[in-house]
Amino acid sequence: MARITDQTKIERLKQSTMKLVVDNGFGGASVALISKDAQVASGYFYMHYKGKYELVNAILQEVYSEVFGMFEKLIEQGEPFHVTIENIIRHFVELANKEPIRVKFLYVLTNDYNFVIDKHIQENTQMLLEKLMEMGRSRNELDKTLIVSDLYLILIITTIQFINQKYKYNDENIIAEEDIKHLLKLIFKFLK
């Protein structure tokens, strides 16, 4: 007999997982806590996921697809490098303003030594950053001494950290236009 999947329960599991990972770190978000917070039986969790790592990676893949899928489209549009960078940052901030939990989730996972990001996500990120680096170098808009890991640090990690700092010290959880302009100024200084 086929399993019946209740999408509302799956969505509650995902939301609870993100919330608990953000609040407690990867190690502090157990299947029992996730299930309890989602008001779903642990057995239902295990009917759909082998464990917490599989669910966290499934959520990360969704967030990754949303963020980096747009990055890829922006890179392929053929806009000047600086316009592409600005659009990437604006997309990231738009996601942060719309669904803060998703960016907080990325922040926690990128800083949690107990969690290893899926190899497929790492490889796709590397490929996109290589394309972006090639674009910046071909248009002489990127410091030639920078390497892909530098671009990752400057563009992705700086943006995630900046957004996190705004969340941490701002009650509204909204990144304003002046914040975006300041972030862009910092990033362009690092890149040139």
User: For the domain that residue 105 is a member of, what is the CATH number?
Assistant: 1.10.357.10
For 141-156, the pLDDT digits (tens) are 999 999 999 999 999 9
Q: Is the pLDDT of residue 3 over 70?
A: no
For 63-90, the pLDDT digits (tens) are 888 888 888 898 889 899 999 999 999 9
pLDDT, average across residues 105-110:
91
Q: Determine whether 98 is exposed, middle or buried from the number of CB atoms within 10 Å of its CB (0-12, 13-18, 19+).
A: exposed
Let me know if residue 160 belongs to a domain.
Answer: yes
Q: Note down the domain range covering 63.
A: 57-191
Let me know if residue 68 belongs to a domain.
Answer: yes
Instruction: Outline where 25-176 has alpha helix (H).
Output: 31-38, 42-48, 52-76, 81-98, 100-110, 119-138, 148-151, 158-169
- Looking at residue 126, its pLDDT comes to 94
Per the structure, the count of domains in the chain is 1
Let me know if residue 7 belongs to a domain.
Answer: no
